[in-house]
Amino acid sequence: MNAPVPRLDGSVVVFGSRLSPFVEKVVRALHLKRIDHRLVAPRSPLDFKRWNPQARKMPVLELAGTRFYDSSLILRKLDDVAPDPPLFDRDPATAARQRFIEDWSDESLYWYGMGLRWSRENASVTAAQVLGSLPVPGPVRALVGLVLPRQIRRQALAQGLARLPLAVLLEELGRRFDELLVWLGGRPFLFAERVSAADLAVFGQLNMLRSGPTPQAEELIAARPDLAQYAARVDAATRR
C-alpha cells in the first residue's frame, strides 16, 4: 500500500548547506515549483547525525512535519505534492534518459568534483570553505578543522578518483563535460525544452565546481561556452 502523500501546509524546511550539490539540487527544485521554504544550515558536524541518524547526510526535507531523505527521493516526493511543473518529461523515453543522467550526475560526476576538491592542490582551500560554513566556537573549530577534512578526504580517496594525478583527473573531467554537451545537443535543457531533475542534478555539481576551491574546473567550464551558457539557463529558470 502506498504511503499517504503529505500536504503542503506552508511549513517546508530544507536542512543542509547549499555548498552541497545535493542540497542545491533540492533548493532549485523548490524554486522551480515556487514552493516557499526555509533553509536550516548546519552549525556543527553533529547536526548531520541529528537530522539524518541513519545516513548522516544532507539534504533532509521536512514536509508537514514528516522528514524525507536523499535528494533523488526528495525530488520525487516534491513531484507528488506539487506536480506542476513536473521534474521529468511526460514522454516515458525522455523521462528515462533524464533519470539516467540524474543518477549519473549524483553517483559519478559528483566524485570527479570531490576528487578535485580534495586533491592535494585544492584540499586546504576546500577545508577552509567547509569550515567557514560552520559557525562553530573557536575552541571547537580547531578540533573540527583537524577531524572533518580528514574524514571527507578519506571518502574521496576511498572512491578512487582523488588518487589520480591532477592532470589525469582534469582530462577525464573535461571528457565528462564534453559528453554532457553531446547529450544536450541543440536543446536548451537535457533531452527537453524545459528544466528537469537531470538539469537540477548537473547544475548542482557545476555550482559546486565553480564555488571557489577548484579553479581548474572553472577553467574547464569557461573553455566550453555552451556548457557555461547551459548552466546560466538552468540558473535563470530556477533562481529566486
Cα dihedral 172→21→134→70 (10° resolution): -120
* Weakest mean pLDDT among 32-36, 121-125, 142-146: 142-146
* Weakest mean pLDDT among 101-115, 134-148, 172-186: 134-148
Render pLDDT for 102-128 as a digit per residue (tens, 0 to 9): 999 999 999 999 999 989 899 889 988
Question: Which helix (H) or strand (E) covers residue 60, if one does?
Answer: strand 60-63
- Give the closest residue to 237 by CA, choosing from 34, 9, 10, 62: 34
Share of the chain above pLDDT 70, in %: 88
Share of the chain above pLDDT 90, in %: 68
Q: Are 98 and 197 in contact (CB under 8 A)?
A: yes
Q: Are 191 and 198 in contact (CB under 8 A)?
A: yes
Domains of the chain with CATH codes: 12-81 (3.40.30.10), 92-238 (1.20.1050.10)
Q: Which position has the grid cell 554537451?
A: 181
Cα dihedral 180→30→210→72 (10° resolution): -50
Cβ within 8 Å of residue 178, ≥6 positions away: 224
* Weakest mean pLDDT among 30-39, 70-79, 132-141, 163-172: 132-141
* Weakest mean pLDDT among 44-58, 142-156, 200-214: 142-156
